[in-house]
Chain A
């Protein structure tokens, strides 16, 4: 029995319940979220379906325009561009996901520690991120990628990561540079929260500060992490495309929209438009969808933007 509870049950009024309800009512958000889910499914399923795509050379059918057998034409080795594009989703989604799995928790932890403890620790972390942020993004990314050139992590284990040539180098580099925004926001929010009475109340019953930080403070800034995760995803996807275009992205043999655009820049002159069109369309759709999802997520989760 609920006497003072809100109509509609217990979780209808919690931050997350409320946000979920708002998002469900928002048709554009639902549609875009569906697009994101679709991309994720493609990213998971396609590599299994076309696992031998990279070696599916067909020299009799190179650079063919779209046809019934190859709806988006073929590339310079006669491989299906449609398959290549769908496989590229896997690269993009992996990079977007992994970069943010690194960046967002890093930003939250550093921001929370800086904001909560203040003093020297805060000075150090602020100094660190302002230094990182003062280098232009692309140059920072290129620098990290070059530093990775010959690095192989966990060599000769199932977790081997070739930072110089594989996908891992791209997402680790992206993750290492995109935590700054989250860190800043979280730090500011934590500085506000640490002054609240419930933090004092927790201290008054003897809670250690590290427990207060991670049990009482961080859960109240998680929405910032989620918003930045979705917005960061877009950034990571675009950055991967950009890096691959510059030839610094994933190595050859890994389907990537950036590499496709890069490869097609000469094709366009001779009228081969299908490869670049597929890659741009695929990039455009996911970036748009993620942007709208992230935007609506922020509207739903940030109390300051709320109306009524």
Chain B
């Protein structure tokens, strides 16, 4: 297995944001069937080490391609664009306002009559926000790959991904809050 191939090549998929999930999972499963440590419980130490390394690589690959935010970041990386979410401050005021409002809601969730229902509502809201970003990203990414937008002028796709990461961070914070309620 060539660990230097990119994840799309690894699973024999075209490089694109839209991927056929069942093709991805079929390729992943048939590769895991071969390299997984389950097959090397009685193998030599070298085989075991190699097997863990490859199985971990496959897991990393499928995790990257399966999740929209990670996939978007990875696609930009393949275009030579490293997204640095911490340094990206050029978010639209509208977006930041939304985020602030959501964060405020999150802070008072614990005091609601039914905090679990309030959390579910928050999850739904950010899921739809994220879906809107995904559509935007696809359009921006197509521009890059069709050379309408050159690599040097890619700020749009980058900004969208930064927002996606922002929303993902919020989702993790909701998850964390949920843990504390139980």
Partners in one complex: no
- List chain B positions with a Cβ less than 8 A from chain A: none
